A and B are shown apart, each in its own frame.
Chain A
Amino acid sequence: MSAVIVTETPADIRASMPAVDPATAVARARPRTSIAETISQTISMAWRALKKMRRNPEQFFDVTLQPLLFTAMFAYIFGGAISGNVKAYLPLLIPGIVAQTVLTTCMSTGVQLREDMEKGVFDRFKSLPIARIAPLAGPMVADLVRYLIAAGLTFVMGVIIGYRPGGGVLGVLGAIALAIFTGWALAWIFTFIGTIARNARSVQGISMLILFPLTFLSNAFVPIKTLPAALADFVRVNPVSHLVSASRDLANLGVISGEVGWTLLAGLTVIAIFAPLSVYSYKRHL
């Protein structure tokens, strides 16, 4: 790539720069950011993340290919063994795949944050008078788009191979909304890992260790009654299981069950713990 050549010398700063008065600046400087400022800064950071997404479309590979591939693959491999045939397995499987893809997407939130933090521009963010949570929360807001694509595509793929959700459009939309919320909440775990890990690769490594038990030790792909007792106990408390059960009730039956409550509670708990931890760790990292 060739460098842009600009030959003229910078115009005289003296003529164009308005005078600076330290006393006024000190008097104007405020001790902390307000809530409104924090929200506006988070939106600006989300704008930056969306721009970057649009310029690096390969970031969308995981949220587009994974739902398409996994839905088809799991349906045809396990369908016969678990439910007798593919069509009967789909109501069980699709909400499971939604949960799984949304969780994988969360993981890349942490990895990308870590990569981003190593760039020079983060030095600038640290030196600006902005809320410390904005550089962390901004990309997560932008990631809502990715959760939406992942969850939406999974349902579309399901319908293509024969899934007929009994909950109707509203039920499916409810399930998608719940999955997006849970993804956003759980992403704080991976954001926290992003702020403590040494580099992007170790974020990936640590995240995998968390991600695999969470997704596979759940009722995402198999009914709980087929599991040994000890495992079944873990599967029952796993928040992913609650998300999967809640989405099944919403998408297949059109029912807002108690599972929705548990899922929301689990999500809020994760945010309450990991959002402050992440900000604290990010500040220490400076």
Chain B
Amino acid sequence: MTTPGVTATGLVKAFGDLRAVDGIDLEVRQGEIFGVLGPNGAGKTTMLRMLATLLPIDAGKAFVFGVDVAREPHRIRQLVGVTGQYASVDEDLTATENLWLFGRLQGLRSADARATAADLLTQFGLEEAANKPIAQFSGGMRRRLDLAASLITRPPLIFLDEPTTGLDPRTRGQMWDTIRGLVAAGCTIMLTTQYLDEADQLADRIAVIDHGRKVAEGTADELKTSVGNSTLQLQLADGADADLARQVVWRVTGREPVLTPESARLNVPLDTADAAADVLIALRQASLAIASVNVSKPTLDEVFLALTGHDAGDEDQSDLSSTDEQYVEAR
């Protein structure tokens, strides 16, 4: 058996009383894209930073291709490329100067560093902007440059921390293609994301993280069967009907809807969007009045509700799910 790309056992990071990462076990196989899914503040970035030697590990063990992260940080840094949530390139330098500097720092000769920089800029469609200061770059261009900077020495493992957060759908699609290309070239990738959709599109396997703990792990299909392929959101005209509506839904779909009694809302997991019609007809036959109806893909919120039995629960979550919905609509 080949050595796993990443092995972590009982990984812990505490900031004061807050256990940001609270005993996570992971195994990332060579050559796969491993997705870490969770809301803001779940501990995704903290975990990644520990694995990339950017934060000390408080407890537990981590290995990258069999090399101990805590004991041999300098070797780990030669095996791992890190692309953060915020572009970590120098704003005062041009794209070429940035890549040249990072190449020189990693021991390339000046001419080789220049050639590598030019190659990477061409690969990432940035050659026209090669001599422009980063301050003039768009968000998508910064992300691409940032990823290019992580690839100078072609590390076998790449950590991507929310690689597409804040990008428009088209740029996001380009980033996805780039990531798939890296895997085809033999890289192993571990990426964090807030978007179920992104994990679904890219990741071979996904770990769901909540409050520093792993709450689920599996393929995208395995995770989605726990929430259905789409979700019917019903707003009842009268909150008093909620219990009756629940029974009707149960009879028609054989699934338990998630109730929000105070707002008279029901979330019904569906295997196919067609089933929404069956539910609506049954509700009409039972004379239950409906204020609004919406069918959408499952959001991270719903995965969470299904997996943990509670809302993702931080204030960021509300705007997180709304951007997620907007994004689904935009596609």
Contact with A along B123-137 (1 / 0, CB 8 A): 111101100100111
Q: Which A residues are within 8 Å of any B CB, using their own CB?
A: 1-6, 8-14, 16-23, 25-26, 28-33, 37, 40-41, 44-45, 47-48, 51-52, 55-56, 119-130, 134, 286
Known: A51-B92, A129-B106. 18 other contacts (CB 8 A): A1-B136, A3-B136, A12-B181, A14-B181, A17-B123, A22-B156, A25-B78, A26-B75, A26-B79, A31-B74, A44-B105, A47-B101, A52-B93, A121-B90, A123-B84, A124-B89, A128-B77, A286-B56
Complexed CA–CA distance, A22 and B188 (Å): 9
- Interface size, B (range): 35 or more
Query: Given known contacts A25-B78, A120-B87, is B101 in contact with A48 (CB within 8 Å)?
Result: yes
Residues of B contacting A37 in the complex (Cβ-Cβ under 8 angstroms):
107
- Contact status B185-A17, CB under 8 Å: yes
What's the least CB distance linking A117 to chain B, in Å?
A: 12
Please name all residues of chain A whose beta carbon is closer than 8 Å to the beta carbon of B91 when the two chains form the complex: 119, 121
- A200 nearest CB across to chain B (Å): 16
- Do A17 and B136 contact each other (CB < 8 Å), given the known contacts A25-B155, A30-B78, A121-B89? no
For A9, give its contact among B125, B137, B141, B187 (CB under 8 Å): B125
Decide yes or no whether B281 CB sits under 8 A from chain A.
no
Complex alpha-carbon distance, A228 and B193, angstroms: 67
Whether B279 sits at the interface, judged by CB under 8 Å, is no
**Residue pair A124, B88 in contact (C-beta under 8 Å):** yes
Whether A29 contacts B79 by the Cβ 8 Å rule is: yes
Do A20 and B106 touch across chains, with their CB atoms under 8 A apart?
no
Task: Annotate B165-201 by CB proximity to A: 1 below 8 A, 0 otherwise.
Answer: 0000000001001100110111110000000000000
Docked CA distance A20–B31 (Å)? 10
Interchain pairs with CB closer than 8 A, number: 169
B154 close to A33 (CB less than 8 A):
no
Cβ-based interface call for B327 (8 A): no
Shortest beta-carbon distance from A51 to chain B in Å = 6
Given contacts A19-B186, A21-B186, A51-B92, contact A6 B129 (CB under 8 A): yes
Shortest B46–chain A CB gap in Å is 13
Residues from chain A with Cβ under 8 Å of B86 in the complex = 120, 123
B5 contacts A by Cβ under 8 Å: yes
Contact with A along B96-127 (1 / 0, CB 8 A): 01000110111100000000000100111110
Query: CB distance B92 to A55 under 8 Å?
Result: yes
B261 beta carbon closer than 8 Å to chain A: no
Residues of chain B lying within 8 A (CB to CB) of residue A33: 74
